[in-house]
Amino acid sequence: MARQTLEVGSTIDGFLVGEKIHTGGMATLWRVTRPDIDTPIVMKVPTILEGDDPTVIVGFEMEMMILPRLVGKHVPKFYGIGDFARQPYVVMEYIQGYSLFSLIEKAPLPADEVAKIGVKVATALVDLHRQNVLHLDIKPSNIMIRDSGEAALIDFGLSRHLFLPDLLEEEFRVPMGTGPYIAPEQVMKNRSEPRSDIYSLGVLLYYLATNVRPFGLPQAQGQLKKRLWRDPVPPRKLVPNMPPWLQEAILRCLEVDPDDRYDTAAQLAFDLSHPDQIKLTARSQKLQRDSLPTSWKRWLKSKGSDSGPRQPRPQQTNLAPIIMVAVDFSDGQEALTEELRVNVKRVLATMPGVRIACVNVLKLNRLTITFTLDEEGRSIHVQRLVELKEWARPLGLDQERVTFHVLEHMDPAEALIEFASSNHVDQVVIGARASSTLRRFLGSVSSQVVARAGCTVTVVRAPRAIAEAEAEDEKMIDTG
Amino acid sequence: MRIAFFSDIHGNREALDACLAHAERQRVDRMVFMGDLVGYGADPVYVVERVAREMEKGAVALLGNHDQAAALGQSDGMNEYARAAIEWTHQALDAASIDVIKTLPMSVTDEDRLYVHSEASSPHSWSYITDAQTAERSLRSTGARITLCGHVHRPQLYHMSPSKPPVFFLPQSSTPIPLMGNRKWLAVLGAVGQPRDQNPAAAYAILDTTLNEITYLRAAYNIEKAASKIHAAGLPQMLAARLFIGR
Ligand SMILES: Nc1ncnc2c1ncn2[C@@H]1O[C@H](COP(=O)(O)OP(=O)(O)OP(=O)(O)O)[C@@H](O)[C@H]1O
Ligand SMILES: [Mg+2]
């Protein structure tokens, strides 16, 4: 491959090369400028040495393939790639912020800070996975926190796009990843599992919360396999004051079998944003590693487990969506809340992995802005929660699959839309009250949610309301 | 430049028209017909005339094994359905169509691309590319960076870096796939007129040479009509039935 020597002041395809800001194992990074681009940008160039590891080259091909296809604030904005035969490079936005790597020295971090980082990174993963890309090398140095607060993922050299050829698969006989963070199935050379990223994020959260790496710093391949059978020390053993919910979340990410982890990054983000709603299992209580006979059994099982490349499975988010149900308890809405439940039942029948978030908005008016603080306000809030739980009880949902939220807001539609977007809700199920001329003019809550929510919205009507709507329509025709 | 590739039309007028209409909406600059214009379907003359008209406007067309057999009326070595179809097609073709078929080349080289109906190492053997091994034979026989072929009726994509065996990829419809730099690519096209990948929709592909991306596409067409014409022509029933299931 022909190569140019990059140096300060040289120009490639209109990019003027500035200072070198990083020299890594795989690549160097240079600040560059181009007259028509007024944000800071960097050029990443592979370090290709004669007889070098071909992973460097193929990894760079993958990055050149994937980065141009990604959009959104959770990745660096893409500006250009170089011709592979001449000078391979990618030019991307310079992310202003800090690397998560710099946070490691502050570990152990308090639980709420760990959860906050977890939500940010999981949110970035939701965005990436929705674009059909798996990162497969989640670790502190590959995550930046923007000045605006969002996590941005960098370094797509080991990534895979589920609908594009995986140039790395089969090409190499060794597992690809970073020793401390790599998921067990990646160790077994499966590169098509979105939940591998959830595992690596679990390792990262464990590390941030305890200042200990759950699987140490493995040096050889054989040591990587150990995580298939030997479970990590429960983090609460290392940090006794860690709340059980955080151990629950972290150890769930670190399950060996992807089916035992969170189904989606959205579900992990959801749990870490609502710690009080996390279902605590035996995981949260563990203070010892599993007994040696248990590990030994897992070791035997891991010997027989199949390995090797897989064809990607259908997108995980479709099988395990988060569905938000907006339930209104105003008088006279019983038929409607019943119909909502019927609709949710239908969804449950077809999608066993679904999660239901039951939401009610406690409407505040301008005058009672301090409402939440007084005794009466609190008791209304609690009453609403009780009613939500009662509404959901006939659905017979396991605690792990249902959560309850009373939102206090002056604008119910706004509250619902905000909740849906910040919790990566895939679908909203909302009731529409009997129509009235007035409501049509003012715009009902449901019609506002339909118009402004970023996801699928199902509007449910009580059977009786249809007849009323017809009568209403006739009236309008009569008078109109 | 955007180039549309149509392979294995096999006398299926409805499927061809659907693909051409679909491709027109995708703003293509050129067309390449990858062989097997005829055989199996009930409209061989229509298809040859339509392709000939596109050739006058700059399209490229290649010879397929069915085209050769139908023009010469020679169906030795073919299975019973194919043979029945070839005999029927030979009768149906007029002199003008046979003349067009006789001018078709076995392969065409276009910049860094090679177009050929079947496996490139020996185009006259009409071998099938079904796995990495057969793909490797084809890829090693040419210096072209991108080879496009048909013949198998199942979309496939192989990529091969200089010192490694090729790797198979099953392309997803409507997803542009970048044909990245440091390796060779072999794009096997699905069939316009007789898909066999269990998806009955007509298959074709578009290569964007500027973006260096290939997109495999599917077009729905009126299968009932194509099938009823096969019945009416007295061709084997099975040739109509398979269109509905894409096998
Ligand atoms: N777009 C960007 N904006 C700001 N900083 C970046 C950007 N991309 C990379 N960096 C910085 O450069 C470092 C290395 O980048 P990257 O991980 O992409 O390369 P690498 O080849 O994996 O390097 P290494 O071998 O050191 O991990 C990152 O950890 C980060 O600090
Ligand atoms: Mg890196």
User: Worst-scoring range by mean pLDDT, A294-308, A374-388, A410-424?
Assistant: A294-308
Residue A349 pLDDT: 87
- Average pLDDT value for residue range A447-463: 92
Which one has a higher pLDDT value, A480 or B183?
B183
Tell how far the Cα of A156 is from the centroid of ligand 2, in angstroms.
8
Torsion of CA B219, B224, B225, B226, to 10 degrees: 70
Q: Is the pLDDT confidence value at A317 over 60?
A: no
Residues of chain B neighbouring A83 (CB-CB closer than 8 A): 181
Tell how far the Cα of A142 is from the centroid of ligand 2, in angstroms.
5
Model ipTM value = 0.87
Q: Looking at domain B2-245, which CATH architecture does it have?
A: 4-Layer Sandwich (3.60)
Q: What is the pLDDT of residues B213-228, one digit of tens each?
A: 999 999 999 999 999 9
Question: Residue B159 and residue A165: Cβ atoms within 8 Å?
Answer: yes
Q: Left (φ > 0), alpha (ψ -120 to 50) or beta: where does A231 sit? A: beta
Query: Hey, what domains does chain A have and what are their CATH numbers?
Result: 11-93 (3.30.200.20), 97-313 (1.10.510.10), 321-479 (3.40.50.620)
Q: Is the pLDDT confidence value at A277 over 80?
A: yes
d(CA A159, CA A143): 14
Mean pLDDT of chain A: 88
Q: Is the pLDDT confidence value at A74 over 50?
A: yes
For residue A438, name the pLDDT band (cuts at 50, 70, 90): low
Residues of chain B neighbouring A167 (CB-CB closer than 8 A): 159, 161, 167, 180, 183
Which of A29, A48, A70, A204 best tests ligand 1's pocket when mutated (most atoms within 8 Å of CB)?
A: A29
Whether A155 lines ligand 1, by a CB cut-off of 6 Å, is yes
- Average pLDDT value for residue range A92-103: 97
Segments in B112-173 forming alpha helices (H)? 132-140
Residue A316 pLDDT: 47
DSSP-based three-state secondary structure for B243 = helix
Which pTM was predicted?
0.89
User: Worst-scoring range by mean pLDDT, A14-23, A195-204, A357-366, B124-133?
Assistant: A357-366
For residue A462, name the pLDDT band (cuts at 50, 70, 90): confident
Residue A120 pLDDT: 98
Residue B11 pLDDT: 98
Residues of chain B neighbouring A54 (CB-CB closer than 8 A): 161
Residue B41 pLDDT: 98
Q: Which of A163, A172, A192, A311 is best to mutate for the B interface (most B CBs within 10 A)?
A: A163
Domain boundaries, chain B: 2-245
Whether A22 lines ligand 1, by a CB cut-off of 6 Å, is yes
The alpha carbon of B69 is separated from its chain's Cα centroid by a whole number of angstroms, namely: 16
Residue A1 pLDDT: 44
Residue A465 pLDDT: 57
Question: Residue B182 and residue A311: Cβ atoms within 8 Å?
Answer: no
Residue A221 pLDDT: 79
Question: Residue B181 and residue A84: Cβ atoms within 8 Å?
Answer: yes
Tell me the residue ranges of DSSP E strands in chain B.
2-6, 30-33, 60-61, 107-110, 113-116, 146-149, 156-160, 167-169, 177-178, 184-188, 202-208, 213-219
Residue B115 pLDDT: 98
